């Protein structure tokens, strides 16, 4: 398969060599030689998979591929879905495939593309199109669909079950339903309807204590339901009193009402607010002291909620956070089977892998949770929330971190990125690479990065690759703490690095020649360097003057700003940070421009 084999996350097995076909001809000289077969009782997702297969094969070969319940005599059959698979292999079973495992197998003159329900058959089709045909879906708008008028495959016998049950590349463009299903993401935010296999759906995604027990409704009559801090009950920057049984009964009632109104939900969040403020009353404090962590009172509470909703909602798991003050696992209590713990890496440095000594606190916590939790998820951070567009050289850790999660029994990963806007630094690259690692954590992260660069940037890939090496080498040399709230004056963002990066991107733009599409992609890649210069204009100008360094852009800040904005608007950039719209930059530039540049 183009030099790659599928590696399975759970089981490696096959049907054996019996029935293996000789090479199957799908198209010859632009004429389709096979029919796509899907049975009458196929699911909506399986029918969509058949249509996708026929559509992409037509793009690749130029031939027509009929979709129906039968094939003309003498034609090869592309059997889509478990029902169709049994036309060629009566023993075909999805029993060990779960919801998403897949089989790609040749039998005689037929090709089976099938899997578990609801998404396995879709993933079989897309895996075949990727690994055998060469299709790639880089972004929601940019794909590689090769031209192969003659297409032959086989023999094949592949069986793959993904290791991670929950996979979310939480980047703005990755929410597109077609991109998500083709790249095998299945998280809450992706726009995946039934035809695209559906997804894991949360009832309340995160920080749900107050949505479930609103202080505006309950605090006046029941202050004892909320945190006691310094001897006072409060709902300001606080949590719930997790040992109060009356509050728990009300929360369960409210949660059940929400779940009845949301039958698609597979997970319900019962999770702490986005602050500290945990209850310090004598009962909560005693539990936390016994457990050695505030996660003790939280997990006992969540376990009790999970037990109370289980009979009515047997297919819904309760999700909670191990976040900030609850990150350390408890000493005694363990999560119930229907409880998911999402461990958050927010305090880590992302210039080094999470297994590195620099991140030893998180490393110790994931080891601890992995010993007691059957459904451990991770909430990971892959952007800079205070400067979406600024260089954020974390690409080298993406592969090692995903392997680290898989090696510690993690079953779901939420990769939080720049989720509000196009144009964030290397957004398309991160979204795609993360999707591939989520599907198969054994993949080599650097190989995936190189593949994307070649496919998306074409002739500009070499200088872009050199630019990324420059920024990653700079952050490693600086020993900066690359968090998800990194400052713009980090050491690695030196004038020397910014200037060298701009030169490399000038080379990238020259390499694309008259290709306007590739030129626009290179210009978007330049935005992070221009952005950093704009928001640090005076400090970097002083540095250049003091050390007699050449200034890398126009000396007029408004001219650089206009160049930045022209590119940003063409890319539909709306935010430069989680809490800052694009227009924030206008104010920064105007303030700087109104002050005279100091003379050297």
What confidence tens digit (pLDDT) does each residue in 181-207 have?
999 999 999 999 999 999 999 999 999
CA 394 vs CA 96, 277, 398, 476, 512: distances in Å: 36, 32, 7, 10, 26
CA 381 vs CA 189, 482, 490, 491: distances in Å: 16, 11, 18, 21
Query: What are the structure tokens assigned to 250, written together?
Result: 């009300």
| Antiparallel, parallel or unpaired: β 102-107 and 110-115 | antiparallel
Asked if the structure places residue 372 within a domain, the reply is: no
- 505 and 529 Cβ atoms separated by less than 8 Å: yes
To the nearest whole number, what is the mean pLDDT of the chain? Answer: 95
Tens of pLDDT, residue by residue over 348-357, are 999 999 999 9
Query: What are the structure tokens assigned to 211, written together?
Result: 């949505």
Instruction: Determine the Cα–Cα distance for residues 186 and 508; give it in Å rounded to an integer.
Output: 35
Report pLDDT for 436. 98
Report pLDDT for 72. 80
| Antiparallel, parallel or unpaired: β 76-80 and 110-115 | parallel
Instruction: Determine the Cα–Cα distance for residues 546 and 429; give it in Å rounded to an integer.
Output: 37
Report pLDDT for 17. 38
Three-state secondary-structure class, residue 533? helix
Q: What is the CATH number of the domain that holds 49?
A: 3.30.379.10
- What's the domain range around 54? 24-160
Instruction: Determine the Cα–Cα distance for residues 507 and 463; give it in Å rounded to an integer.
Output: 6
Query: What are the structure tokens assigned to 565, written together?
Result: 């904005």
Asked if the structure places residue 133 within a domain, the reply is: yes
Closest to 200 measured CA to CA, from 208, 209, 189: 189
Asked if the structure places residue 31 within a domain, the reply is: yes
Residue 4 pLDDT exceeds 70: no
Instruction: Determine the Cα–Cα distance for residues 218 and 233; give it in Å rounded to an integer.
Output: 13
Residue 427 pLDDT exceeds 70: yes
Tens of pLDDT, residue by residue over 529-559, are 999 999 999 999 999 999 999 999 999 999 9
- How long a stretch of residues is the chain? 600
Closest to 306 measured CA to CA, from 296, 320, 292: 320
Percent of the chain with pLDDT over 70: 96
Report pLDDT for 600. 47
Asked if the structure places residue 37 within a domain, the reply is: yes
Cis check: omega of the bond before 569, within 30 degrees of 0: no
Report pLDDT for 3. 35
Report pLDDT for 2. 38
Query: What are the structure tokens assigned to 578, written together?
Result: 């989680």
Residue 598 pLDDT exceeds 60: no
Asked if the structure places residue 145 within a domain, the reply is: yes
- 373 and 341 Cβ atoms separated by less than 8 Å: yes
Tens of pLDDT, residue by residue over 254-294, are 999 999 999 999 999 999 999 999 999 999 999 999 999 99
Radius of gyration of the chain (CA): 27
Tens of pLDDT, residue by residue over 318-327, are 999 999 999 9
Tens of pLDDT, residue by residue over 463-520, are 999 999 999 999 999 989 999 999 999 999 999 999 999 999 999 999 999 999 999 9
Closest to 291 measured CA to CA, from 325, 321, 340, 247: 325
Asked if the structure places residue 111 within a domain, the reply is: yes
**pLDDT class of 596 with cuts at 50, 70, 90:** confident
Q: How many domains does the chain have?
A: 1
Contacts of 276 by beta carbon, 8 Å cutoff, 6+ apart: 237, 324, 325
Asked if the structure places residue 285 within a domain, the reply is: no
Report pLDDT for 240. 98
Asked if the structure places residue 516 within a domain, the reply is: no
Tens of pLDDT, residue by residue over 220-260, are 999 999 999 999 999 999 999 999 999 999 999 999 999 99
């Amino acid at each position: 398969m183009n030099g790659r084999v599928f590696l399975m996350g759970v089981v490696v097995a096959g049907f054996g060599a019996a029935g293996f076909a000789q090479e199957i001809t799908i198209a010859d000289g632009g004429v389709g030689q096979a029919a796509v077969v899907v049975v009458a009782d196929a699911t909506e997702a399986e029918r969509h998979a058949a249509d996708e297969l026929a559509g992409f094969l037509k793009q690749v070969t130029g031939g027509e591929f009929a979709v129906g319940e039968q094939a003309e005599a003498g034609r090869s059959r592309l059997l889509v879905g478990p029902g169709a698979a049994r036309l060629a292999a009566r023993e075909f079973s999805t029993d060990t495939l779960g919801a998403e495992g897949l089989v790609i197998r040749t039998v005689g003159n037929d090709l089976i593309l099938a899997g578990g329900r609801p998404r396995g058959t879709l993933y079989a089709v897309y895996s075949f199109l990727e690994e055998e045909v060469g299709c790639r879906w880089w972004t929601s708008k940019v794909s590689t669909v090769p031209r192969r008028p003659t297409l032959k495959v086989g023999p094949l016998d592949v069986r793959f079950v993904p290791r991670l049950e929950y996979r979310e590349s939480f980047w703005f463009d990755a929410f597109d339903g077609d991109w998500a299903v083709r790249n095998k993401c299945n998280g809450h935010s992706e726009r995946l309807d039934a035809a695209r296999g559906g997804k894991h759906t949360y009832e309340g995604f995160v920080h749900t204590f107050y949505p479930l027990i609103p202080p505006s409704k309950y605090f006046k009559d029941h202050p004892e339901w909320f945190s006691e801090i310094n001897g006072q009950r409060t709902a300001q920057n606080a949590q719930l009193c997790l040992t109060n049984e009356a509050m728990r009964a009300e929360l369960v009632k409210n949660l059940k009402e929400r779940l009845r109104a949301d039958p698609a939900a597979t997970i319900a969040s019962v999770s702490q607010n986005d602050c500290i403020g945990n209850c310090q009353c004598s009962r909560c404090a005693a539990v936390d002291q016994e457990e050695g962590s505030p996660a003790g009172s939280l997990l006992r509470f969540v376990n009790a909620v999970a037990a109370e909703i289980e009979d009515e909602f047997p297919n819904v798991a309760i999700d909670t956070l191990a976040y900030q003050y609850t990150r350390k696992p408890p000493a005694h209590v363990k999560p119930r089977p229907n409880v998911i713990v999402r461990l958050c890496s927010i305090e880590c440095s992302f210039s080094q892998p999470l297994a590195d000594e620099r991140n030893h606190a998180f490393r110790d916590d994931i080891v601890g949770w992995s010993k007691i939790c059957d459904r451990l998820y991770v909430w990971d951070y892959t952007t800079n929330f205070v400067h979406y567009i600024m260089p954020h050289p974390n690409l080298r850790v993406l592969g090692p971190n995903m392997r680290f999660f898989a090696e510690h029994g993690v079953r779901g990963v939420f990769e939080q990125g720049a989720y509000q806007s196009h144009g964030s630094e290397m957004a398309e690259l991160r979204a795609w690479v993360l999707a591939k690692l989520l599907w198969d954590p054994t993949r080599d992260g650097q190989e995936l990065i190189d593949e994307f660069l070649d496919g998306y940037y074409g002739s500009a890939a070499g200088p872009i690759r050199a630019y990324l090496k420059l920024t990653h080498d700079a952050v490693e040399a600086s020993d900066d703490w690359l968090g998800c709230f990194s400052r713009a004056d980090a050491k690695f963002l030196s004038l020397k690095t910014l200037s060298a990066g701009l030169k490399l991107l000038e080379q990238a733009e020259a390499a694309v020649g008259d290709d306007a599409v590739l030129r626009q992609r290179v210009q978007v890649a330049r935005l992070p360097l221009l952005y950093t210069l704009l928001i640090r204009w005076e400090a970097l100008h002083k540095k250049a003057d003091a050390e007699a360094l050449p200034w890398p852009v126009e000396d007029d800040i408004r001219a650089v700003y206009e160049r930045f904005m022209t590119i940003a608007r063409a890319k539909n950039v709306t935010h430069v940070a989680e809490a800052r719209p694009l227009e924030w930059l206008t104010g920064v530039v105007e303030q700087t421009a109104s002050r005279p540049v100091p003379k050297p």
